[in-house]
Structure 1
Amino acid sequence: MNGVITPLIANYPENSTWTIGYLLIHPNYQRQGLGAQFFHVLEQAISPNKMRCVVQEQNGQALKFWQTLGFKVVGLEQSKLGQLVNKTFVVEKVNRV
């Protein structure tokens, strides 16, 4: 699909889990359903038991996107670099086998 970039990591952080590094949609193609369409094709192709990703705390639009795809917030991670604090939600979707 043009305008879609996503890295995937298999079996991380545990076996049978696919981790989505990020899902980027070119601004010209956003809000057209391409992200959801891409995700559904990906999900069918790899048939994962579980998928996970992290979402920046301040990115409410991305959090809502993942939640509409069936992901649930399972944690909040925080990292510091000097005075900067980065907070991310960990979201997961478990597929029944």
Structure 2
Amino acid sequence: MPTQVKFGVLEAGAFGVSQSRKRAFIWATSPEETLPEWPEPMHVFAGPELKITLPRDVQYAAIRSTAGGAPFRVITVRDIIGDLPSVGNGASKTEWM
């Protein structure tokens, strides 16, 4: 039995990160092991789709789009850092004296 190999691209925004960050993954295992399935995207993320056109005009979508819906809404930067306390040393002032 040959070695098992899977290749895929995951979009971080679809997994609860507040940014568009595509990452390629290559999974491989020995013949006696079973590769797991890719994780299901959990957050709506309407980033640009990454599609590759193969011969005979076959379209391969490297990333599963969640623009049509997912269990949870998109995570924003405000969600991530919105509860941080104000900077008290004046570093957040826009004008300097």
User: TM-score, normalised on structure 1?
Assistant: 0.29
User: Which structure: greater helix fraction?
Assistant: 1
Q: Which of 1 and 2 has greater Rg? A: 2
